[in-house]
Amino acid sequence: MMMPAMINQAFGSLQRVAPQGAAAGVAPVAAGVGAAGLAAAAPPAAPADPKELVRNVIRSANWTVDEQGDVWTVTVPISSLRRQKVEIALRAKDPAGHPLVNFRSTCGPATPENAMLLLQFNSQLVHGAFAVEKTSSGDMVRVVANQLADTMTLLDVNKVITAVAWQADQAEEKLLGTDEN
């Protein structure tokens, strides 16, 4: 229920950061449409630096971040009483060698009892999926999502961070009944 409000809040903050049309990935039209009618569009810009895109989203949303090299941990407020940490890894590559940005947030320990239920909920997630990952604390349930670094936009980054945080917090609340992550 809170997701639409969080997205609206985030979109409002992105409008202050992104130039007109940039959030939708639209190239600006050259000024001075002549008598012929149409002006040529500007050539496509080089892909934005993924770190700067992520940093701009975090800054515009006033989230706190702990940058440790290429792995950042962002604390996203879910409500006045709940927060969720989202880990962002900026060094991954897909099998073809294209740079990826990984987003993940821990929900709680993996157990045989919750495995099937979480797999059934995967089809309902907006961005990402539930996964079980080995950590120093044991096998943990996480919401994970990936984006191609070369094609992501401010809006993409904001939507994924917000969705991963909210979905992981909802699962954590159901699995643990607390707010640990």
pLDDT of residue 12: 52
Three-class DSSP category at 51 = helix
DSSP classification of residue 124: G
pLDDT of residue 4: 53
Per-residue pLDDT of the chain (181 residues; tens, 9 = 90+): 555 555 455 445 444 444 444 444 433 333 444 444 444 555 445 557 889 999 999 999 999 999 999 999 999 999 888 899 999 999 888 899 999 999 999 988 888 877 777 777 777 777 888 888 888 888 898 999 999 998 999 999 999 999 999 989 888 887 776 666 6
The CA distance from 136 to 134, in Å, is: 7
**24 and 11 in contact (C-beta within 8 Å)?**
no
Instruction: Centre a 10 Å sphere on the Cβ of residue 10 and count the other Cβ atoms it contains.
Output: 22
